């Protein structure tokens, strides 16, 4: 099947405005006749739901946490990009567009990325007006910092808690609509399936996580803003609850899953300390503004960092990428860290770590300035490791952080399934094969505040979805299937916990489909994962009942979906026989270890179609055309 | 297991559901690494319970990096445990000694009923925000970001208050189960910024009315909330809240409808 991204044509800088001029609108008094379903309450979900409710639509929002304010967007630390050019340093919408296309290693859609860069400036305005306490200069104007993959300072921030503050802004806008009765909120409610009637997404089946009640909710459109699948690796910077279930259930109902092998391994996380480890903690990339990354020059050097003289240190990012230095993009920095550790030059227990050293900046700027910029991050590091970064360099190592792949969507953010929209990290569209720092917050809020309010109106005005009610046989059928699956998970009476399976599949994925992949390893993973799935089907143990809060049951359902997704990721990584961005196939690299793309064969989006359990999925392609940024080898040297 | 591992005794509140009696149950917890976080220690205990065919202990948690506000346990009688400015998920076992007994309970406050074991319902906090904890600016209405200059000192003070994670430790720590620290943090966050001025009075009146309707107790300036707060939200926010409330109450005008000439 040829996938049509439905991108506007013509000059790139007028595509979005022309699109907005041409779409159909819904009359204000008709908006209240529509009901829309939003799953997820992070930046994309909360901002989208609030904006649509402000327009007059009835919105129902679902999240698995006890409050929409807890979605994992809250944990984003460093900042949000916007092409404001407040620094007078040469930034522009075009440059943000260009940096994002290049940063994504030419595997994203130009039209989507340009729109993202355009609305980035409106996002900052909106957030300021909501009362987001961004960092300020003494004159009262907004302050900026630099992030990886850019040579301008365009990142807006609120200390090391930018995600928290942006999410609270969106959450407050959402609560305002809840208070006004325009949004009905369903916390502690998990989406377990998608209802498709006559080829259109019409609703979801949920489980009330407190009472266990299985229920259907119908609407005129369904939106998923359910985040990424980085938790497939078990150890990641995601929250423990982050999962792929909503997206995967939609995939099983017909939505294509695009580029599942594009995962982002973040270079600066606190290294693994033991096998009890439940998650990994990110140390914001912004630390690389003032921190220098190094390892000992000599393999097996076990001296304390302070004992190693300058001449015997290798500041490898500064050496290899002089023009970007410590601010090289994430995929490149992560691979470089892996490389020096593979050479036996890693530091700390197990040798999987590199130093992030603030000493020079402390000497230059004083401890006070560094504390003001990164105080909370440094405290967090100290709490976890028991070491003081003002005295000893921090130890960091890459960890799974973000997923660029996701459900396939067109320019309208609609999947191939009519009526199913996908926002934020859950979709695939804007970051190509690698996301630049401070761009996830930008994309989540762009989709929610400034894209979906337009594209949703166009969909409803054009399609006028017919009425469906809860007695429809398809609704009953999906509900029964969900109840059946839940019963099955509870009835296996095996020996192993869902967590033990998650750890097992996570290890396979990290080793075979992590920072570096190769054909042999991927083929091994494709053998190993179905075997784990089979064992899961026989030996799972879920205690407790159905009609109560049951965290093991929740986990079991999510792990079951990860066990299917993992296989698809490896399959996608195997077929994509090139290196691009975060997808590094060891067979395709330059002599000095840089990624080598194959534009002739792989300048396309791979979108996978589910064909049934135990059946091979079908791979569809959407060709990518680069009309405005010319395909080039990505260099940060 | 290594020589540094701890052997602990846990006394954990187990309660099957809302409105049923609960009790403290004792668990033996050997082989706990001092590098584990408190919740990782509970993960290990749960994994062992599961192996024995006993139902794991239910507790709320999500980000495990101290920012989502989902976790919260009363540990030996102290909300979020003994470390200053630390959420339960960021508390590490290196602060305990071999042989310690640790009592673990849920938040205890009338407005937060127990759902199961250590999990409580904190929905009243969302309803307080919905009542007025926002700036009414619909998407698309905003002027340019730099058109509203904000003095750096105001932005910093506002950010100090905005750092609240809504975990409700302040309520759990307060002998009166007062929610004043939480409410004052939001009132200060928005009230300290120029953008928050138009609704400043209406906001404080509405939020306090909702707080009272939820059944939280009154503030008697004990300060337990500040001591327990993992984000170091200061008592001075409560003073600011009281000033704003007083000013709003004495100058209160009836709220007018929004209808205009057609």
Q: Search chain A and give the residue with CA nearest B203.
A: A176
Mean pLDDT, residues A454-479 taken together: 96
CA distance A75 to chain B (A): 6
CA distance A486 to chain B (A): 17
Percent of chain B residues topping a pLDDT of 70:
96
What's the pLDDT score for residue A91?
Answer: 97
Whether residue B259 is contained in a domain is answered as no
* Of A176, A278, A453, Cβ closest to residue B40: A278
**pLDDT above 60 for B262:** no
Looking at A8-17, A28-37, A171-180, A322-331, which range is the least confident one?
A322-331
Mean pLDDT, residues A537-556 taken together: 97
Confidence of residue A372 (pLDDT cuts 50, 70, 90): confident
Please tell me whether residues B155 and B89 are part of one structural domain.
no
Residues 6+ apart with CB under 8 A from B191: B197, B200, B203, B204, B240, B244
Task: From chain A, pick out residues whose CB is under 8 angstroms from the CB of B61.
Answer: 240
Percent of chain A residues topping a pLDDT of 90:
92
* Of B62, B144, B155, Cβ closest to residue A125: B144
CB contact under 8 Å between B163 and A161, yes or no, is yes
* pLDDT tens digits, one per residue of B184-213: 999 999 999 999 999 999 999 999 999 999
* pLDDT tens digits, one per residue of A190-208: 999 999 999 999 999 999 9
* Of B61, B125, B155, Cβ closest to residue A136: B155
Q: Verify whether residue A330 is a known catalytic residue.
A: yes
Task: Enter the ipTM.
Answer: 0.97
**pLDDT above 80 for B72:** yes
* Domain end residue (candidates: B99, B116, B133): B116
Please tell me whether residues B138 and B83 are part of one structural domain.
no
Mean pLDDT, residues A433-455 taken together: 97
Paired tokens of B241: 């809240």
Confidence of residue A548 (pLDDT cuts 50, 70, 90): very high
**pLDDT above 50 for B1:** no
Catalytic residue among A95, A200, A202, A330: A330
Using alpha carbons, list the distances in angstroms from residue B114 to A69, B19, B107: 20, 8, 8
Confidence of residue A147 (pLDDT cuts 50, 70, 90): confident
What's the pLDDT score for residue B256?
Answer: 65
For an interface test with A, which of B80, B137, B210, B214 has the most A Cβ atoms less than 10 Å from its Cβ? B137
- Domains in chain A: boundaries: 12-262+404-463, 267-399, 482-602
Please tell me whether residues B140 and B38 are part of one structural domain.
no
Task: From chain A, pick out residues whose CB is under 8 angstroms from the CB of B68.
Answer: 65, 70, 72, 74-75, 239
What's the pLDDT score for residue A593?
Answer: 85
Task: Give the separation between CA A195 and CA A215, rounded to whole angstroms.
Answer: 12
Q: How many CB pairs under 8 A join A and B?
A: 212
Confidence of residue A14 (pLDDT cuts 50, 70, 90): very high
What's the pLDDT score for residue A637?
Answer: 84
* Domain end residue (candidates: B72, B94, B116): B116
What's the pLDDT score for residue B2?
Answer: 59
Domain of B230?
Answer: 122-250
CA distance B218 to chain A (A): 24
Say if domain A267-399 classifies as CATH 3.90.700.10. yes
Confidence of residue A64 (pLDDT cuts 50, 70, 90): very high
Confidence of residue B257 (pLDDT cuts 50, 70, 90): low
Whether residue B186 is contained in a domain is answered as yes
Task: From chain B, pick out residues whose CB is under 8 angstroms from the CB of A175.
Answer: 126, 129-130, 133-134
* pLDDT tens digits, one per residue of A340-364: 999 999 999 889 999 999 999 999 9
Count of structural domains, chain B? 2
Please tell me whether residues B145 and B246 are part of one structural domain.
yes
Residue of A142 and A289 predicted with greater confidence: A142
**pLDDT above 60 for A109:** yes
* Of B53, B55, B142, Cβ closest to residue A125: B142
User: What does CATH list as the number for A12-262+404-463?
Assistant: 3.50.50.60
* pLDDT tens digits, one per residue of B45-55: 999 999 999 99
Please tell me whether residues B159 and B94 are part of one structural domain.
no
* Domain end residue (candidates: B116, B149, B164): B116
Please tell me whether residues B202 and B153 are part of one structural domain.
yes
Say if domain A482-602 classifies as CATH 3.40.309.10. no
């Amino acid at each position: 099947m040829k996938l049509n991204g439905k991108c506007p044509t013509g000059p790139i800088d007028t595509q979005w405005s022309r699109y907005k001029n041409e779409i159909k609108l819904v009359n204000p008094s008709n908006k209240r006749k529509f009901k829309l379903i939003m799953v997820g309450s992070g930046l994309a979900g909360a901002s989208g739901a609030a904006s649509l409710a402000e327009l007059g639509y009835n919105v129902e929002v679902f999240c698995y946490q006890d409050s929409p304010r807890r979605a994992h967007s809250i944990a984003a630390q460093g900042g949000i990009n916007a092409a404001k050019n407040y620094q007078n340093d040469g930034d522009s919408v075009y440059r943000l567009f260009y940096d994002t296309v290049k940063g994504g290693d030419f595997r994203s859609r130009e039209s989507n990325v340009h729109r993202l860069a355009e609305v980035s400036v409106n996002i900052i305005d909106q957030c300021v007006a909501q009362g987001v306490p961004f960092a300020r200069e003494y004159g009262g104007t907004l302050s900026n910092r630099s992030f990886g993959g850019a040579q301008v300072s365009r990142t807006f921030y609120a200390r090391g808690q930018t995600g928290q503050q942006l999410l609270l802004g969106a959450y407050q806008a959402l609560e305002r609509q809840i208070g006004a009765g325009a949004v009905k909120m369903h916390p502690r409610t998990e989406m377990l399936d998608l209802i498709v009637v006559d080829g259109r997404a019409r609703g979801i089946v949920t489980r009330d996580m407190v009472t266990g009640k299985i229920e259907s909710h119908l609407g005129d459109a369904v939106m998923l803003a359910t985040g990424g699948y980085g938790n497939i690796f078990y150890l990641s910077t995601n929250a423990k609850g982050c999962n792929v279930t909503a997206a995967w259930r939609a995939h099983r109902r017909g939505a294509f899953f695009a580029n599942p092998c594009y995962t982002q391994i973040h270079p600066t996380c606190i290294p693994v300390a033991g096998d009890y480890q439940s998650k990994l903690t990110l140390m914001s990339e912004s630390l690389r503004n003032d921190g220098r990354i190094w390892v000992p020059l000599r393999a097996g050097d076990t001296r304390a960092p302070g004992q190693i003289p300058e001449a015997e240190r290798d500041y490898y990012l500064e050496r290899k990428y002089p023009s970007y230095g410590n601010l090289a993009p994430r995929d490149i920095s992560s691979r470089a860290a892996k490389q020096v550790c593979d050479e036996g030059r890693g530091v700390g227990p197990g040798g999987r770590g590199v130093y992030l050293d603030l000493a020079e900046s402390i000497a230059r700027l004083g401890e006070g300035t560094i504390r003001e910029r990164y105080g909370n991050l440094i405290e967090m590091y100290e709490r976890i490791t028991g070491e003081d970064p003002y005295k000893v360099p921090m130890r960091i190592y890459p960890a799974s952080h973000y997923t660029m792949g996701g459900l396939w969507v067109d320019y309208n953010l609609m999947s191939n399934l009519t009526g199913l929209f996908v926002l934020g990290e859950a979709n695939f569209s804007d970051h190509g094969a690698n996301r630049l720092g401070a761009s996830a917050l930008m994309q989540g809020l762009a989709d929610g505040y400034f894209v979906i309010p337009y594209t949703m109106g166009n969909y409803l005005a054009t399609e006028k979805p017919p009425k469906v009610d809860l007695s429809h046989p398809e609704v009953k059928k999906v509900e029964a299937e969900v109840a059946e699956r839940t019963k099955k998970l509870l009835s296996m009476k095996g020996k192993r916990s869902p967590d033990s399976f998650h750890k097992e599949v996570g290890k396979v994925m990290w080793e075979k489909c992590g920072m570096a992949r190769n054909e042999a390893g991927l083929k091994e993973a494709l053998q190993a994962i179905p075997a784990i799935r089979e064992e899961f089907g026989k030996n799972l143990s879920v205690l407790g009942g159905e009609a109560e809060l049951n965290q093991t049951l929740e986990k079991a359902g999510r792990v079951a979906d990860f066990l299917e997704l993992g296989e698809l990721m490896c399959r996608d990584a195997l077929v994509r026989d090139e290196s691009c961005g975060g997808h590094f196939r060891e067979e395709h690299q330059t002599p000095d270890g840089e990624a080598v793309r194959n534009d002739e064969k792989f300048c396309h989006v791979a979108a996978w179609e589910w064909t049934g359990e135990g059946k091979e999925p079908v791979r569809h392609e959407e060709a990518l055309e680069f009309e405005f940024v010319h395909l080039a080898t990505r260099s940060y040297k | 297991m290594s020589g540094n591992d701890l052997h602990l005794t846990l006394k954990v509140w187990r309660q099957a559901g809302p409105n049923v009696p609960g009790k403290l149950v004792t668990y033996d917890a050997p082989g706990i690494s001092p590098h584990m976080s408190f919740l990782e220690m509970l993960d290990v205990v749960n994994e062992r319970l599961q192996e024995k065919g006993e139902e794991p202990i239910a507790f709320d948690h999500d980000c495990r990096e101290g920012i989502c506000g989902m976790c919260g346990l009363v540990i030996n009688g102290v909300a979020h445990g003994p470390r200053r400015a630390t959420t339960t998920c960021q508390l590490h076992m290196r602060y305990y000694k071999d042989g310690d007994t640790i009592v673990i309970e849920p938040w205890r406050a009338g407005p937060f009923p127990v759902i199961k074991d250590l999990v409580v319902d904190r929905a009243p906090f969302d309803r307080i925000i919905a009542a007025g904890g926002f700036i009414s600016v619909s998407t698309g209405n905003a002027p340019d970001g730099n058109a509203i200059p904000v003095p750096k000192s105001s932005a910093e003070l506002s950010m100090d208050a905005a750092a609240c994670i809504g975990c409700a430790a302040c309520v759990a720590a307060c002998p009166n189960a007062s929610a004043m620290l939480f409410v004052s943090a939001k009132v200060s966050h928005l009230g300290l910024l120029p953008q928050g001025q138009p609704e400043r009075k209406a906001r404080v009146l509405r939020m306090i009315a909702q707080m009272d309707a939820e059944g939280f107790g009154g503030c008697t300036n004990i300060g337990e909330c500040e001591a327990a707060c993992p984000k170091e939200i200061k008592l001075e926010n409560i003073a600011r809240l009281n000033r704003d409330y007083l000013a709003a109450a004495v100058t209160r005008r009836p709220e007018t409808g929004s209808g205009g000439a057609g």
